[in-house]
Structure 1
């Protein structure tokens, strides 16, 4: 792939990251919970007062460190290349949280609508990430494959444990978290054909 095509693909990947961040922010600012994938950073954010983006960065650094320990591969390139992507994604989350914080989501129907729309945007962003096949794409495929439910449940269980341990109650996890968990994978599949067509942007 020549430089022009590669640049187009990476720019598109950046846009897909922002779509994911915007979807996460919309679900979270609906105040009915957060997405399963951000449940641990969100709980830590509520406990610490740090931003969701900052905690997303810190939690992902821990996850990458754990990956290296489990795989016993040391500080290899495939782990290092994740860090710039996670950093950009974390910044995008904070930007999206600021953009969606003041949306007039008063009333349960509007809040629930925001959860559904946010899940759809997140699913579209993930589908676009997959076809880009860069940086963290292999992790995205894992998250939307057959182990998605287990992957999401693991995050939620850890988030619940942290909430009970440090606050004595469950923080930041509500029906919106469950609905997002059920919807995102379906929206990824529905967005698949559109994402495949988008590859023409850098294939031509």
Structure 2
């Protein structure tokens, strides 16, 4: 994953097998979080809202399929932004992208029975979903392996322009959100899956990841001190 200052001391530089297992578990938990957020039905992330909306426009195709198509588009855009820097190894990013699409469709089936009616229950489910999603992202960052095409595209824009990474990611998410709303408005008569939960997701996921970074460093430091003692 991309190396930000906050990731120093968190990424795993040990066994490659262990890191791939961590990465796979991270992908699974991420998709489980997405599935639970969808069941909360009070709004989901920009990326999920777009791919979920597409399943209403083309009901014969799954959300995982649309997610993989989006990743393919991002890989193409990555090439167009910096063609000379593009390498064959970049196609490896499609492997975790395919795994994510598969796990997403699996978890959507496994959670289909979940129905919540009370708003408080929906809110709590979304909070739990975001915590699960964020922990999946944390594990993927810790594994320090292959960037997903979407993340690769954002990182490529960062290298190409020198703009702040956070600003690029925010602009990218807003673009997905506007696209989702436009598709919903044109094809379905109104935007779908964009509600207060979309804003809550944007706030909570980042905060959860910061919390996981803090807890990992805190308890790692304790273990190191105990070992020295």
TM over 0.5: yes
Give the distance between the partners of 2:216 and 2:89, measured in 1 at CA.
24
CA–CA distance in structure 1, aligned partners of residues 115 and 183 of structure 2: 31
**Cα deviation 1:7-26 (Å, max 9, x = unaligned):** 11101110001111011111
Contact 2:135–2:209 under 8 Å retained in 1: yes
Q: Is the 8 A contact 1:57 1:87 kept in 2?
A: yes
Q: Which residue of 1 aligns with 2:93?
A: 82
Residue 45 of structure 2 contacts residue 202 of structure 2 at CA under 8 Å; is this kept in 1?
A: yes
Q: Distance in 2 between matches of 1:173 and 1:82?
A: 28
Report what 1:31 is aligned to: 41
For the pair 1:103 / 2:103, whether they are aligned, the reply is: no
What's 1:19 paired with?
29
1:116 corresponds, among 113, 116, 127, to 127
Contact 2:135–2:208 (CA under 8 A) maintained in structure 1: yes
Please give the alpha-carbon distance, in whole angstroms, between the structure 2 residues aligned to 1:149 and 1:31: 23
Residue 45 of structure 2 contacts residue 198 of structure 2 at CA under 8 Å; is this kept in 1?
Answer: yes
1:47-58 alignment runs, 5 A limit: 47-49=57-59, 50-58=61-69
Write the distance in 1 (CA, Å) between the matches of 2:45 and 2:130.
8
Q: Which residue of structure 2 aligns with residue 180 of structure 1? A: 201
| Runs of 5+ unmatched residues, structure 1 | none
Higher gyration radius (CA):
2
The answer on whether the counterparts of 2:40 and 2:123 sit within 8 Å (CA) in structure 1 is yes
Q: Tell whether the 8 Å contact from 1:131 to 1:195 is kept in structure 2 after alignment.
A: no
The answer for unaligned runs of 5 or more in structure 2 is 1-13, 156-164, 224-229
Counting only pairs closer than 5 Å after superposition, residues 191-202 of structure 1 correspond to structure 2 as: 191-194=212-215
Partner of 2:77: 66
Provide the residue aligned with 2:54 in structure 1.
44
Which moved further from structure 2: 126-135 or 9-18?
126-135
Paired residue for 1:168?
189
Deviation by residue 1:85-119 (Cα, 9 ceiling, x = unmatched): 10000111111111222124222111111111111
CA contact (8 A) 1:40 1:159 kept: yes
**Backbone CA RMSD of aligned residues:** 2.4
CA distance in 1, matches of 2:119, 2:80: 44
Return the alpha-carbon distance in structure 1 between the equivalents of residues 96 and 204 of structure 2.
25
Compared CA separation, residues 128 and 48, structure 1 to 2 (3 A): same
Q: Distance in 1 between matches of 2:215 and 2:181?
A: 36
- Relative distance call for 1:71 and 1:39 in structure 2 (3 A) is farther
Q: Scaled by the length of structure 2, what TM-score is found?
A: 0.76
Aligned-pair CA distance for 1:194: 4.4
